[in-house]
Amino acid sequence: MKNCYDLIVIGGGPAGLAAALSAYENGLTDILILERDQVPGGILNQCIHNGFGLHHFKEELTGPEYAGRFIDQLEGTSIELLCDCMVLEITDEKVIHAVSPKTGYLALEAKSIVLAMGCRERTRGAISIPGTRPAGVLTAGAAQRYVNIEGYMVGKKVVILGSGDIGLIMARRMTLEGAKVLACVEVMPYSGGLTRNIVQCLNDFDIPLYLSHTITEIRGKNRVEGVTVSQVDANRQPIPGTEIEFDCDTVLLSVGLIPENELSRQAGVPLDFRTNGPKVDENLQTEIEGIFACGNVLHVHDLVDYVSDESARAGKAAAAYVKGETAVGDYWNITAGDNLGYTVPQRVHRAADGVQIFFRVRRIFANSVIEVTCGDQLLAKFRREHMAPGEMERINIPKALLAKADGDITVTAKEA
Amino acid sequence: MYDVAIIGCGVIGAATAYELSRYNLRVVILEKENDVAMGTSRANSAIVHAGYDAQAGTLMARLNVEGNAMAGPLCEELDVPFKRIGSIVAAFDDFDEGVVQKLYERGMANGVPDLRIISAEETKALEPNIADNVRCSLYAPTAGVICPWEYTLAFAEVAVKNGAELKRKCEVTAIEKTEEGFCLSTNQGEICAKYVVNAAGVYSDKIHDMVLPHAFDLIPVSGQYDLLDKSEGSRCNTVVFQCPGLEGKGVLVSPTVHGNLIVGPSAEEVDRDDTATTAEVLTMVRNRAKRAVPSVDLRQCIRNFAGVRANSAVDDFLISRTENFVDLAGIKSPGLTAAPAIAKHAVELLKEAGIDLEEKENWDGKRVRIKFNEMNEEQRRALIEENPAYGRIICRCNTVTEGEILDCLHTPIPPVSVDGVKRRTGTGMGRCQGGFCGPRIVDILAREWGVSPVEIPQDRDEAYILTHETKMGN
């Protein structure tokens, strides 16, 4: 195996695959994808439900089918894929240290790197659910792997904490496999998942959704025997006297995703505390030249279709970087203003050919307006009928409007 | 007929078995759980205390200082993670300053090496994140942090390797005195031994009462903790104690030997098996921790846990011998530190009772374990070349390889659960808490043991993870 590549992509999930293919289409031939699992496709492999690809392929695919479309495209290209390979370290000199049973220890030099490591789930410890610590408390993703990949059920009577998409999907999946899902409990006054998942995964199966509630105690010596659910006040503190007891053997957690940036941090890539992902420009380039980031390692997406689009842009930009065609010069910062949780990118070159900005709002909006401003100057305005924290928003600012900016740019949301 | 039966395989029972395994004796350890270190030994502050806490002149004071000195060479020999990072007891007001002075004097009386009171400036130099209002602190460079369950495991493994027998899931229900010694009724039948060592932790009062008249009451006290991600591991350089008050040694903030940060414990009287955590207590623990280290980022918490200490009303361990029966009871903090010294002391007590201590010629006290994440590039290259299983990372957070998991299945005391693998290799202890590696470890164990994944427990045998096969599309 050679030890120097034009581009090394860390992660062979949807982000990494799309980035590698796009870099190839844009003229790079010397590309390596490093994937830690036995097969490419990432988390899509365990997402056997449908609903993927409506935007990207204009048809409804399952997760494995969606990943398969990209994996098939590798055929006939010069892109190398090494699975069962774990990256241990990325140095600031762009040397990648990795291990694999097939190749042994690797120290690979890369002219450019795309970070596409995805994200992990928040755990019980991160939210400190009180009580005992029996078996049967799993993240929804771990349960999904057991059920869909390994072929084993994780319980019979289930309470789900958090209404993130994986939790909602697992509510339906567990029900279809014969389990009784007693409740889906969400601490916020609104769901963290997509509306379509609330409808198709909870409502269609008569699974109650308890908004503004949380689990305040887990019971059971060896295996979960029950949980207490309490209503919470506006500060998310349990309200005494509102306790509901559930006899269950399983608690699934869908309480948020965290971009996995331990490698990025090691390489010295500056991170944004709001996204927990790298700070990037309009080309998805991090603040270290030649290192790009895309997909859930950058910010948590709602739909894989947007991951693919974003990652294609990262791959294209990596190709341009290797060819010495990257945008340079001054840039404006992009700031998340009122009611926005974050923006990606966090900055844009003044001479950029426009910019696509992703963000999430902090609360639910009905008829509303997104404003892009530069000081007192309104650069652009977008109308929305509905916005929710569970759904990622994106806006495009064309070159002509961007050119009007003469300073840092702020994006805000408000009622129309 | 055994020479010695040790009841309980926490750190005290294991260390005692380790010491006894040096001699030509038939030793059996009876452990009611399916693994060693299942009680207090796996859920504590994991500190090797310097020895200034115990009242001068007590057995506890002596065994603490002795045990502290033994930890270094032992951990070297047993390949147990141990770092002598030192500790401070920080004073924030007049009262605290008085306590620090008293602890200093007590430490000097106890023979704690290199103990000194350092100024606010020196304290801040040592601990840049300590609260600004620190007045001074008691600095004990000999204090350290250790992996308590691996310490226990290492003692037990060496004992077993040298001929001791470990019976797991073996619960003693009654003890009868016989002509030659004792006959122990267990769920695995009768076990007879000339000498009995009671190292039953929070149950040591019950065991005592099976043989002798009731002599002491244990007060099980729960300590609740937060364990923080490695991103917080360098928040402190030493073990940062606050001045002890009515709640025991008070809340500490400390790096762990694995590079995390630990915050705790609390102290509430509980039932002896009650290791639940509560929101109120953890909030209290966090507020106290912030008093000493205000910048600690508690959002980086990866796990809460609680352990129960076998406290008593006495300011000492409850160690005594009655004929051929030795109580190693009431082993509260600093029991972990004192463990190897308690074990040596127990052997002395048995000698007094007339046990014949003839040293083995071929005793082998060495233990090694491959730790991929502590190796350099060259060592890793060589290791994977020798066995490709070391090139497959199973636990991403702590960089544990399949090779290490396979290794632990062939140790003298192999694991019988996913958490057994965790305690032996470090899998699942990181920020994802086994979310990624859990299913893969179940898979490896099922494959290696030739059983269905449904048979693999999380921890105790009853802690099942999987219930049944899916419909497989049918």
- Residue B401's CATH number: 1.10.10
Interchain CB contact of B474 with A (< 8 Å) = no
- The predicted model gives B373-379 an average pLDDT of 97
Provide the total of helices (H) and of strands (E) in chain B, helices listed first.
12, 22
State whether A135 and B457 contact (CB < 8 Å). yes
- Does a structural domain hold residue B71? no
- Does a structural domain hold residue B33? no
Whole-number percent of chain A with pLDDT over 70: 100
CB B404 within 8 A of CB B398: no
- The predicted model gives B329-353 an average pLDDT of 98
Q: What angle in degrees, to the nearest 10, is found between the helix axes of B418-425 and B148-161?
A: 100
- Does a structural domain hold residue B181? no
For residue A380, what pLDDT is reported?
95
Compute the nearest-CA separation of A276 from chain B (Å). Answer: 13
CB B5 within 8 A of CB B197: yes
State whether B466 and A152 contact (CB < 8 Å). yes
* Residue A131 DSSP label: B
Structure tokens at B202: 């929070």
Interchain CB contact of B380 with A (< 8 Å) = yes
Q: Tell me, what amino acid is at A365?
A: F
Structure tokens at A138: 């799993």
* Residue A237 DSSP label: P
Bridge partners (DSSP) of residue A5 are: A110
The answer, yes or no, to whether residue B391 has pLDDT greater than 60, is yes
Same domain, yes or no: B261 and B406? no
- The predicted model gives A241-265 an average pLDDT of 97
- The predicted model gives B200-215 an average pLDDT of 97
pLDDT band for position B153 (50/70/90)?
very high
- Does a structural domain hold residue B386? yes
State whether B282 and A120 contact (CB < 8 Å). no
Mean pLDDT for chain A? 96
For residue B422, what pLDDT is reported?
98
Same domain, yes or no: B264 and B389? no
Q: Given the DSSP bridges, would you call strands B318-322 and B325-329 parallel, antiparallel or unpaired?
A: antiparallel
**Among B265, B286, B311, where does a domain finish?**
B311
Same domain, yes or no: B134 and B227? yes
B260 to each of A384, B89, B153, B256, how far by Cα in Å? 45, 20, 21, 5
B406 to each of A46, A154, B377, how far by Cα in Å? 26, 25, 21
Compute the nearest-CA separation of B225 from chain A (Å). Answer: 11
Bridge partners (DSSP) of residue B326 are: B197, B321
Residue A154: closest CA among chain B residues belongs to which residue?
A: B466
Tell me which H or E stretch contains B320. Answer: strand B318-322
State whether A135 and B432 contact (CB < 8 Å). no
SS3 A12: coil
- The predicted model gives B200-219 an average pLDDT of 97
Same domain, yes or no: B302 and B392? no
- The predicted model gives B211-238 an average pLDDT of 97
Same domain, yes or no: B135 and B283? yes
Whole-number percent of chain A with pLDDT over 90: 95
Same domain, yes or no: B250 and B131? yes
- Does a structural domain hold residue B356? no
Q: Which of B76, B80, B143, B101 is nearest to B333 (CA)?
A: B143
The answer, yes or no, to whether residue B176 has pLDDT greater than 70, is yes
pLDDT in tens, A186-230: 999 998 888 899 999 999 999 999 999 999 999 999 999 999 999
First-to-last alpha carbon distance for chain B, in angstroms, is 57
Residue with tokens 């992902």: A277
- The predicted model gives B367-371 an average pLDDT of 97
**Among B267, B293, B311, where does a domain finish?**
B311
Structure tokens at B8: 């309980």
pLDDT in tens, B102-125: 999 999 999 999 999 999 999 999
Angle at alpha carbon of residue A83, lines to A100 and A289, rounded to 5°: 90
State whether B453 and A104 contact (CB < 8 Å). no
- Does a structural domain hold residue B229? yes
Q: Which of A101, A107, A132 sits opposite B391 (nearest CB)?
A: A101
The answer, yes or no, to whether residue B247 has pLDDT greater than 60, is no
Mean pLDDT for chain B? 96
Cis bond leading into A345, ω under 30°?
A: yes
- The predicted model gives B73-82 an average pLDDT of 98
Interface A-B: count of C-beta contacts within 8 A: 144
For residue B82, what pLDDT is reported?
98
Whole-number percent of chain B with pLDDT over 90: 98
Same domain, yes or no: B421 and B305? no
Domain count, chain B: 2
Helices (H), A183-261: 195-197
For residue B340, what pLDDT is reported?
98
Residue with tokens 């299983």: B389
Cβ count within 10 A of residue B299: 10
* Residue B209 DSSP label: H
First-to-last alpha carbon distance for chain A, in angstroms, is 58
Query: Domain range spanning residue B412?
Result: 372-455
- Tell me the three-class secondary structure of A81-118, residue by residue: EECCCEEEEECCCCEEEEEECCCEEEEEEEEEEEECCC
Q: Which of A104, A126, A150 sits opposite B381 (nearest CB)?
A: A104
pLDDT band for position A376 (50/70/90)?
very high
Contact residues on chain A for B446, CB-CB shorter than 8 A: none
CB B178 within 8 A of CB B170: no
Helices (H), B111-227: 120-126, 148-161, 204-211
Residue B443: closest CA among chain A residues belongs to which residue?
A: A150
Same domain, yes or no: B112 and B261? yes
For residue A1, what pLDDT is reported?
80
SS3 A32: strand
Residue-range domains of chain A with CATH: 1-121+257-326 (3.50.50.60), 123-255 (3.50.50.60), 329-416 (2.60.40)
The answer, yes or no, to whether residue B473 has pLDDT greater than 80, is no
**Among B276, B311, B346, where does a domain finish?**
B311
Same domain, yes or no: B225 and B125? yes
For residue A205, what pLDDT is reported?
98
Same domain, yes or no: B229 and B303? yes
CB B51 within 8 A of CB B60: no
Residue B64 and residue B308: Cα distance in Å, rounded?
20
B214 catalytic residue (yes or no) = no
- Does a structural domain hold residue B266? yes
Compute the nearest-CA separation of B188 from chain A (Å). Answer: 22
**What CATH number is given to the structural domain containing B293?**
3.30.9.10
Q: Which of A104, A123, A134 sits opposite B432 (nearest CB)?
A: A123
For residue B471, what pLDDT is reported?
85
Taking every pair of Cα atoms in chain B, the longest distance, rounded to a whole number of angstroms, is 74
B215 to each of B205, B313, B319, B327, B332, how far by Cα in Å? 8, 12, 12, 11, 17
- The predicted model gives B15-38 an average pLDDT of 98
- The predicted model gives B376-405 an average pLDDT of 97
Compute the nearest-CA separation of B53 from chain A (Å). Answer: 31
> Alpha-carbon dihedral of residues A88, A90, A94, A95, nearest 10 degrees?
-30
The answer, yes or no, to whether residue A370 has pLDDT greater than 80, is yes
Residue A97: closest CA among chain B residues belongs to which residue?
A: B377
Q: Tell me, what amino acid is at A414?
A: K
For residue B248, what pLDDT is reported?
58
Q: Which of A123, A149, A221 sits opposite B435 (nearest CB)?
A: A123
Q: Which of B55, B90, B85, B44 is nearest to B68 (CA)?
A: B85
Residue A199 and residue A188: Cα distance in Å, rounded?
18
A299 to each of A64, A261, A273, B263, how far by Cα in Å? 22, 11, 11, 30
Tell me which H or E stretch contains B5. Answer: strand B2-7
Same domain, yes or no: B234 and B137? yes
State whether B471 and A177 contact (CB < 8 Å). yes
pLDDT band for position B182 (50/70/90)?
very high
SS3 B353: coil
Residue with more model confidence, B324 or A327: B324
- Does a structural domain hold residue B465? no
Residue to substitute from B402, B470, B471, B474, interface A, most A β-carbons within 10 A: B470
Structure tokens at B286: 């966090």
- The predicted model gives B434-456 an average pLDDT of 96
Same domain, yes or no: B283 and B134? yes
Q: Which of B79, B96, B78, B77 is nearest to B88 (CA)?
A: B96
